[in-house]
Amino acid sequence: MKIKSILGHLYVQVLIGVALGVLVGAFWPNLGASLQPLGDGFIKLVKFLIAPIVFCTIVSGITSLTDTKKIGPTLLRSLGLFYALTVLALALGLAAVLLLQPGVGMHIDPAHLNGSVASKYTSQLPSNNPADFLLNIIPATLVGAFANGEVLPVLLVAVLCGFAFTKLGAHGRFALDVVNSFNKVLFVVFGYIMKVAPIGAFGAMAFTVGKYGARSIGNLGMLILAFYAACILFVVIGLGILSKITGFSLWRLLRYFKDEFLIVLATSSSEPVLPRLLSKLERIGCQRGIVGLVVPTGYSFNLTGTAIYLTLASMFIAQACDIHLGWGQILLMLGMMLLTSKGAAGVTGSGFVALVATLTVMPTLPVAGVALIVGIDRFMSEARALTSTICNIVSCIAVARWEKALDMDVLQAELSAGFVATETEKHALAAAIPVH
Range picked from 161-170, 196-205, 215-224, 402-411 for highest mean pLDDT: 402-411
The answer to whether 134 touches 128, Cβ cutoff 8 Å, is no
pLDDT at 8 (0 to 100): 63
Range picked from 106-120, 217-231, 345-359, 420-434 for highest mean pLDDT: 217-231
pLDDT band at 436 (very low <50, low <70, confident <90, very high): very low
Range picked from 37-46, 70-79, 241-250, 422-431 for highest mean pLDDT: 241-250
Q: What's the whole-number mean pLDDT along residues 51-66?
A: 72
Chain-wide mean pLDDT for the chain?
77
Q: What's the whole-number mean pLDDT along residues 44-53?
A: 75
pLDDT at 339 (0 to 100): 63
Apex CA 55: angle with CA 54 and CA 58, to 5°? Answer: 80
Beta-carbon contacts of residue 51 (< 8 Å; ≥ 6 apart): 145, 146, 149, 150, 151, 154
Tens digits of residue pLDDT in 219-261: 567 888 889 999 999 999 999 999 999 999 999 999 999 888 8
pLDDT at 387 (0 to 100): 92
pLDDT band at 132 (very low <50, low <70, confident <90, very high): low
CA 289, distance to chain mean position in Å, is: 20
Angle between helices 350-360 and 327-343 (to 10 degrees): 140
CA-to-CA distance for 366 and 254, rounded, in angstroms?
Answer: 39
pLDDT at 397 (0 to 100): 94
Tens digits of residue pLDDT in 198-217: 888 788 778 767 776 645 44
Is the confidence at residue 185, as pLDDT, over 90?
no
Range picked from 80-89, 286-295, 339-348, 354-363 for highest mean pLDDT: 80-89
pLDDT at 281 (0 to 100): 92
The answer to whether 306 touches 339, Cβ cutoff 8 Å, is no
Of the listed ranges 13-27, 107-121, 149-163, the least confidently predicted one is 107-121
The DSSP annotation for 72-129 comes to HHHHHHHHHHHHHHHHHHHHHHHHHHHHH-TTTT----GGGS-THHHHHHHTTPPPS-
Rg, the chain, Cα only: 22
pLDDT band at 349 (very low <50, low <70, confident <90, very high): low
- Positive or negative: CA dihedral 195, 196, 199, 204: negative
Q: Report in angstroms the alpha-carbon separations of 407 from 214, 247, 284, 286, 390.
A: 47, 11, 8, 7, 20
- The domain locations on the chain are 2-430
- Does the domain at 2-430 match CATH 1.10.3860.10? Answer given as yes
pLDDT band at 424 (very low <50, low <70, confident <90, very high): very low
Is the confidence at residue 81, as pLDDT, over 80?
yes
pLDDT band at 423 (very low <50, low <70, confident <90, very high): very low
CA 55, distance to chain mean position in Å, is: 18
pLDDT at 421 (0 to 100): 47
Is the confidence at residue 28, as pLDDT, over 80?
yes
The answer to whether 209 touches 25, Cβ cutoff 8 Å, is yes
Q: Report in angstroms the alpha-carbon separations of 163 from 58, 144, 150, 158, 322.
A: 10, 20, 21, 9, 55
CA-to-CA distance for 140 and 146, rounded, in angstroms?
Answer: 11
pLDDT at 284 (0 to 100): 92
Of the listed ranges 147-156, 311-320, 380-389, the least confidently predicted one is 147-156
Q: Report in angstroms the alpha-carbon separations of 167 from 138, 217, 326.
A: 22, 57, 55
The length of the chain, given as a count of residues: 436
Of the listed ranges 65-74, 143-152, 193-202, 394-403, the least confidently predicted one is 65-74
For 332, which DSSP code? H
pLDDT at 130 (0 to 100): 59
Own/partner long-range contacts of 128-137 (Cβ < 8 Å, ≥24 apart)? 128/339, 128/343, 128/357, 128/361, 130/339, 133/343
Is the confidence at residue 299, as pLDDT, over 90?
no
